[in-house]
Chain A
Amino acid sequence: MRGMTFIVQTMVMFLIGFIMLFGVYVVITGHLSPGGGFAGGVILASGLLLVVLAFGADTVRARLGHNLAVTWETLGAIGFLGIALLGFIAGTFFAHFMRPASGFRLFTGGAIPYSNIAIGLKVGAGLFGAFLMLAAFRAGEKGSGDE
């Protein structure tokens, strides 16, 4: 899949920082404001999708390879499962093991912000990896298909 013109690539280079920052903001303040892990993860994946569309799938596959997406996705999944298992410190599966502060501060809510970060990583990296493979897929590639 080819990339786009030079104007589009320059604008994407300016915009990608803001998009990723907004996605990280939506993930982190998920417990105080609308958003959370799922919406923020899809926003991060959309930012990376913009990079794939503007620069071409082959360039992105050479730089941010497919292994990067798979690694971050499994780290997110293991992180969420790890938070669940750490609940055993407080008694049962998924129990509260951190004491939440009161009020509308950022460092509150027990294990909720960490779960949001893990889910945001998982959803974002997974959707980016799936789209990268779809964009780099070319019919008639050597070894593809059955005949």
Chain B
Amino acid sequence: MTEVLPALYALMLFMLIGAIIAVETRDLLSSVLCLGAVGLALAVVDLVLKAPDLALTQAVVETFAVVLMIRLVVAREDTTREFTGDTLHVAFVSALLVVLLLISWQCFEGLRPVGDPLMTMGNEYLEAGRATGAANRVTAVILDFRAYDTLGEATVIFVAILGCYALLRTRGKTEPQIHADERE
């Protein structure tokens, strides 16, 4: 555990600073690029914590998300007004988050330290996973032991993409316009 902690702390500090810059900076393109840096640091953290599947997936998903956000942001200017007299709102939300951190201090004391978790079901999945024939135990869990959850997740992605199609359709509106113009 001690050999992984310095790298973990450095990467998490990098993620925190990147997130704060992404939220606070005024230029939209810079904040989108900082979001990309946060995701990439998360991929490196996955490598340090011995999860290569997640590192690969996080890296490519982060690339795709940054390209999507740049498509949104480019050539559209930021026309939001400056903060005028809204300090009460900011102070209230910040105080609420600090109170939440203090309340959850008890939960942090109850958690086991990193590297010594409470769960023991992992051993049973690892032993029974030999019979599925998949050397990658994570794939065995996704597609064999918990395949129903994967079916639900495929459905969620399908519905989200259907929502994108429905929102971006522009052809369906020309027909009623033509008939309405002809009727007049």
Contact = CB atoms under 8 A, between A and B. Distances in A.
Report A-B touching, CB under 8 Å. yes
Given A31-B135, A110-B133, A115 B147 contact: yes
Given A109-B132, A110-B132, A133-B164, A35 B56 contact: yes
A80 B147 CA distance: 10
Residue from B138, B139, B150 having most chain A Cβ neighbours under 10 A: B139
Given A123-B157, A135-B71, A143-B177, A104 B135 contact: yes
Contact of B158 (A96, A126, A134): A126
A93 B99 CA distance: 48
Contacts of B133: 31, 100-102, 108-110, 112
Interface residues of B, number: 40
A33 B170 contact: no
Given A31-B135, A143-B170, A112 B64 contact: no
Nearest to A87: B147
Nearest to B178: A143
A4 interface: no
B68 A134 contact: yes
Interface string B61-105: 101100110010000000000000000000000000000000000
Contact of B151 (A43, A70, A81, A112): A81
A133 B71 CA distance: 12
Interface string B137-148: 011101110011
Interface of B: 52-53, 55-57, 60-61, 63-64, 67-68, 71, 131-136, 138-140, 142-144, 147-148, 150-151, 154, 157-158, 161, 164-165, 168, 170-171, 173-174, 177
